Amino acid sequence: MGVTISPSILNCDIANLASEIKKITNADYAHVDVMDNHFVPNLSWGLPVVEAVIRQNILPVDAHLMIEDADRWAPAYAEVGCDSVTFHAEAAVAPIRLAREIHRQGAKVGMALRPATDITPYIELLPEIDMLLVMTVEPGFGGQSFLESMLPKIRRTRDAISAANLQVTVQVDGGISRDTIALAAEAGADVFVAGSAVFKAEDAYNEVEALRQLAKAHC
């Protein structure tokens, strides 16, 4: 199982976006959190900032949409060039149709679940997606502590993927650091979003590498 590191730019200096992303050129993606102050109680940025990150052409973009009406808005993020677009299952009326539309636009599809959302009702949807995001904090704010109570859910997700013989990755987002990444990797995660841990480190590049090596040792 490979390891993917996707640092969240939510915790970077957005006024110096290009230079901040250049600090993490050894990462696999730049993770961009889009929040609308409706689905989650916070407002970040939308399509223009995502397009700005894409135009930098430094890293592919992994967009995490914490927004209402995902059916309407998510395809636009694929259309502008995101490599991966993740919508929340709780915000999608027709998740299969949405996943197929995102694929039609040329992007990979991720589906995210809040901590309280059970994976079981969505197991049948796994063949339609490329990644399942298990939130390891309540979505909406960076810098929160990792919820170890999510580890059994990560394991159930990985077991369901393996049982179906699918090539679906398991992403974790929230509180990922040197102290927690091994726990998530051992449980079955292979895509790791880290925000504060990377951009508040003395050397973001070295922090990405340290997180990658810790995850590799426990996958």
Question: CA 28 → CA 35, 38, 101, 140, 157, distances in Å?
Answer: 22, 29, 24, 23, 22
First and final CA of the chain: distance in angstroms? 7
Nearest to 167 by CA among 158, 176, 175: 158
Query: What gap in Å lies between CA 62 and CA 67, rounded to an integer?
Result: 15
173 is catalytic: yes
Q: Which one from 33, 62, 130, 190 is the annotated catalytic residue?
A: 33
Q: Which one from 28, 62, 130, 173 is the annotated catalytic residue?
A: 173
Contact (CB, 8 A) for 110 and 84 = yes
190 is catalytic: no
Residues with catalytic roles: 33, 173
